[in-house]
A and B are shown apart, each in its own frame.
Chain A
Amino acid sequence: MSGLRRLLGAPGGLLGVALLAAFLLAALLAPLAFPGDPQAIAGPPLLRPFADAAWPLGTDRLGRDVAAELAHGARTSLAVGLVAAAAALALGSLVGTLSGFAGGVLDEMLMRITEAFQTVPGFLLALAFVSSVGPSLAVLSAAIALAAWTGPARLARAEVLSIRARDYVAAARVAGMHPVEIALREVLPNALPPVLALASVIVAQAILAEAALSFLGLGDPNRVTWGGMIAEGRTVLRSAPFLSIVPGLALVAAVLGVHLTGEAAVEAQAARRSLA
């Protein structure tokens, strides 16, 4: 409870949690609030927002309900953001832990691979990957994770290296624990928290990367995505600016919410640590 209070008390924490909550609510409630296919053609095309109560945010080029698309788009953004971040963190922690724990040749090899990935512009890698495999939600998430796992990997390795030298690991070793067990039981849980602190940044980056890929025409056409909405809306950017402004604002709000909450969480944790 006091953790949450501290979170809300941190600068921007309240705003961040509010934005994030709105984002999550929209994503969770979309099927209830807007049942049926959000891509269904529901009304006359290019209706402006607030002009008709049936379509509060207006309709797009084909007459699809922008409000429904926006809510369902939150689901997609959230899904891509979470899946990509989870995959990037899992892969990164695994590689980092392995590398830091094993040392020697394996460490050298894994770090070379990490370096190779860091040398290649991440977005370019994602672009080529999606073009190669074909855009679907899973492929987009994988592509984004592929471009984002190196940060967590390096951090995890650094943490593992510092933890490995600590007393309780040495104690476990003396007690005859299997190295794999030591890695999983003793080292990983302690190395993980700082890596997880990266989560909010990666989620935010993943949401933005998905939008940029959709903008370049590499989105999943069977799902509504905010990036895809912006991409479609930009052809009528001057005639019907709301079509790209509305999802653009949603994108900024969601990413801001993730950032603010993440930051406040880190600060709250730091405050707790300094109190302890």
Chain B
Amino acid sequence: MSRAFALLRRRLLGSIPVLLLVVVGTFLMLEAAPGDAVDAYLATSGGGDAALIAALREAWGLDRSLLARLAAYLWSLAHLDLGWSVTFSRPVLEIILERLPTTLLLMGSATALSFGLGAALGIVAGARPGSAADRLLSAGSLALYAVPGFWLGLVLLVLFSVELRWLPSGGIESIASGLSGFARAADVARHLVLPVTALGLIYMALYLRVMRAGMAEAWRMEFALAARARGIPRRRIVLRHIARNALLPLVTMLGLQSAQMLGGSVVIETVFSVPGLGRLAGEAVSSRDTPLLIGIILMSAVLVIVVNLAVDWLYGLLDPRVLAPGPA
């Protein structure tokens, strides 16, 4: 455990140049956007006169120069302070931590679904390349991969929530329900079904295809041919050798996709009114809340780094030849 923490710390420290690039880049981009946080606020608050607007800009520190603000922000970051969100008038860290569990739950479940189901179906498809099951799954996954996520979300919503009324149409739990313990967990689970399905199915198609391709390749390798020549039962070859081999690129994929899924969740969280980080990021952009947006991006970067660490660890477990953690 302590080794893992040391590794995590080393990785995080090693990522500082990368993170610094991300921070400065995001800062400059959002600052270049037309309109600032005061403009965004005025659009929703019914306006005000010139003196009031000037006072707001001063109070929110927007009257200072770009460089002064960037320096102040970096200075507070150096003290591990993610800064202050002017749109929420609260510390950025507090806002992010409030939304983080929802996002972790949504993305964790969607990843589990897409990875698990993708790998399982990939094994079915890859067990006999060219078989009817393979063709069906390959075609189906390709079609699924062509479906826009927001569109799938809308269709699922209309079907299962509005027409059939089996599942709630949005949110993360029944509002102000007073539920606790198991009942609350069940309630949250019910709310998660649709967004997790919408987000997970698209990525599931990706995993399925990678798994299947990996297996098709593995069949052509010497060890597979040798195993077949030795008369080992097909089922055993598939599970012990072929699938295990094909799982490696799948795990690599998992690391790569973790950042992309947060992007995908912006749309899904909007469609299903899920109060997660993706939607928050969208709000941060539209309200020109630079510290909040950078905070979210930094948090997602840390998540990505942690996921990749886990991936390396998994890699080592699956493939004993890899001793040291692979390239980041």
A binding-site residues for B, Cβ under 8 Å: 11-12, 112-113, 115-116, 118-129, 131-134, 147, 204, 208, 211-212, 215-216, 227, 230, 234, 237-238, 244, 248, 251-253, 255-256, 259-260, 263
Contact = CB atoms under 8 A, between A and B. Distances in A.
Interface in B21-36: 21-22, 25-26, 29-30, 32-34
A34 to B, nearest CB: 24
A237 B17 CA distance: 47
A65 to B, nearest CB: 22
Contacts of A118: 256, 259, 304
- The DSSP consensus for interface residues of chain A is helix
A216 B266 CA distance: 10
A212 B153 CA distance: 12
Interface string B304-327: 110000000000000000000000
A255 B148 CA distance: 10
Given A121-B262, A132-B32, A255 B151 contact: no
Given A115-B18, A227-B148, 9 more contacts: A120-B259, A120-B297, A127-B285, A132-B33, A211-B148, A211-B151, A234-B154, A237-B158, A251-B148
Contacts of A252: 143, 146-148
8 closest Cβ pairs, A-B complex:
A123-B263, A121-B263, A132-B33, A255-B146, A116-B21, A121-B262, A256-B146, A119-B301
Contacts of A255: 145-146
A212 B149 contact: yes
Contact of B266 (A119, A120, A124, A230): A124
Contact of A259 (B21, B25, B142, B158): B142
Interface of B: 15, 17-19, 21-22, 25-26, 29-30, 32-34, 135, 138-139, 142-143, 145-151, 154, 158, 162, 256, 259-264, 266-267, 270, 278, 281-282, 285-286, 293, 297, 300-301, 304-305, 328
Contacts of B281: 124, 127
B328 A128 contact: no
Contacts of B19: 116, 119
A215 B267 contact: yes
Given A115-B18, A116-B22, A256 B142 contact: yes
A212 B162 CA distance: 23
A131 B286 contact: yes
Contacts of B154: 234, 237, 244
Contacts of B267: 123, 212, 215-216
A102 to B, nearest CB: 18
A12 B142 contact: yes
B317 to A, nearest CB: 24
Contacts, number: 132
A128 B293 contact: yes
Contacts of A132: 29-30, 32-34
Contacts of A211: 148, 150-151
Contacts of A113: 21
Most buried by A among B260, B263, B264: B263
Contacts of B30: 128, 132
B18 A116 contact: yes
B263 A259 contact: no
B149 A120 contact: no
28 contacts: A118-B259, A118-B304, A119-B301, A120-B22, A120-B300, A121-B259, A121-B297, A122-B263, A123-B266, A124-B262, A124-B297, A127-B285, A128-B285, A133-B33, A204-B146, A208-B148, A212-B150, A215-B148, A215-B267, A230-B151, A244-B154, A251-B151, A252-B146, A252-B148, A255-B145, A259-B142, A259-B146, A263-B142
A265 B325 CA distance: 35
A124 B135 contact: no
Contact of A122 (B15, B33, B260): B260
Nearest to A255: B146
Given A112-B17, A208-B148, A216-B267, A128 B29 contact: yes
Contact of B282 (A120, A134, A216, A237): A216
Contacts of A124: 262-263, 266, 278, 281, 297, 300
Given A119-B305, A127-B282, A260-B142, A216 B270 contact: yes
Contacts of B328: 115
A251 B148 CA distance: 8
A247 to B, nearest CB: 9
A123 B260 contact: yes
A16 to B, nearest CB: 9
Contacts of B146: 204, 208, 251-253, 255-256, 259
Contacts of B266: 121, 123-124, 127, 216
A147 B259 CA distance: 11
Contacts of B21: 112-113, 116
Contacts of A147: 263
Contacts of A244: 151, 154
